[in-house]
């Protein structure tokens, strides 16, 4: 089927819904990419389990991006919830932790994908509750409009900033707090963007250097509990 479809449309994107390591389906003779459920599960585990340290977050991210070839990583279908899972907001009922995970989604390699309703932090349990109708009559509320503005900001940064889309990143480990995760994204020109996620119950001193691109619970060099900071450095 792949050969037939590629003849009809050479740039067609063949995506597989595989929930685990999909290496055997990404050998060049079946799918172009897959839904990145291992990354989704790893992100959720770290944010839910407060006993996990940032080293475990780093291990998880590195593992997810060493499973496949670079050309697959470029187009991985990255997600945080779907029609088959509990909704993201349902896991935390906390907007700060909700946006921390979206910050990760929009700054890691691959294609960030938003399930309908996530732009307004829509709740819903496991299937079929995760398939609720979109509350169109509530979209215009100030609360939902503010949530949409937050998502639009992340989308805009993803489109505009080369570092957000880059495959190149590393974990410098500059902050002592064991649940203050940090990684730096680099583009081909050497420009850098720092992503800091304070997933602890204590404030973290992260300094005031750089240009703030996106932030929650950050002021005067202090990143508060469940705070997010993305900045050029």
pLDDT (0 to 100) of residue 195 = 99
Q: Which two tokens stand for residue 137?
A: 């009559």
For residue 71, give Cα distances in angstroms to 33, 67, 190.
9, 12, 21
Three-state DSSP at 126 gives coil
Q: Which two tokens stand for residue 139?
A: 């979209």
pTM, 2 dp = 0.95
pLDDT (0 to 100) of residue 197 = 99
pLDDT (0 to 100) of residue 117 = 98
3: left (phi over 0), alpha (psi -120 to 50) or beta: alpha
pLDDT (0 to 100) of residue 128 = 96
Between strands 168-170 and 77-78, the pairing is unpaired
Helical H segments across 11-125, by residue range: 37-48, 54-66, 70-73, 88-92, 95-107
pLDDT (0 to 100) of residue 31 = 94
Low-confidence ranges of the chain (pLDDT < 50): none
Domain that holds residue 205: 2-232
For residue 85, give Cα distances in angstroms to 128, 174, 188, 199.
9, 34, 36, 23
pLDDT tens digit sequence for 120-176: 999 999 999 999 999 999 999 999 999 999 999 999 999 999 999 999 999 999 999
What does the alpha-carbon distance between residue 177 and residue 41 come to, in Å, rounded to a whole number?
A: 23
The domain that contains 172 carries what CATH number? 3.20.20.80
Q: Which two tokens stand for residue 160?
A: 């505009």
Residue 126 in contact with residue 85, Cβ under 8 Å?
Answer: yes
Q: Which residues pair with 21 in a beta bridge?
A: none
On the 0-12 / 13-18 / 19+ scale of CB atoms within 10 A, 40 is: buried
């Amino acid at each position: 089927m792949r050969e037939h479809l590629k003849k009809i449309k050479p740039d067609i994107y063949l995506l597989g819904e595989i929930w685990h390591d999909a290496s055997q389906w990404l050998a060049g003779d079946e799918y172009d990419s897959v839904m990145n459920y291992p990354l989704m599960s790893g992100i959720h585990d770290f944010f839910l389990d407060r006993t996990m340290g940032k080293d475990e977050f780093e291990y998880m991210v590195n593992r997810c991006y060493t499973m496949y070839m670079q050309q697959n990583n470029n187009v991985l279908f990255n997600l945080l919830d779907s029609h088959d899972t509990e909704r993201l907001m349902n896991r935390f009922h906390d907007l700060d932790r909700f946006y921390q995970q979206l910050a990760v989604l929009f700054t890691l390699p691959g294609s960030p994908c938003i399930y309908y309703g996530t732009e307004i932090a829509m709740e819903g349990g496991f299937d079929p509750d995760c398939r609720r109708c979109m509350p169109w009559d509530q979209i215009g509320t100030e609360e939902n409009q503010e949530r949409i503005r937050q998502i639009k900001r992340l989308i805009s940064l993803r489109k505009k900033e080369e570092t957000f889309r880059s495959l190149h990143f590393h974990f410098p480990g500059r902050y002592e707090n064991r649940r203050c995760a940090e990684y730096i994204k680099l583009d081909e020109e050497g420009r850098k963007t720092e992503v800091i996620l304070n997933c602890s119950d204590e404030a973290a001193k992260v300094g005031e250097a750089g240009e703030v691109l996106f932030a929650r619970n950050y002021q005067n060099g202090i990143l508060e509990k469940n705070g997010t900071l993305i900045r050029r450095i």
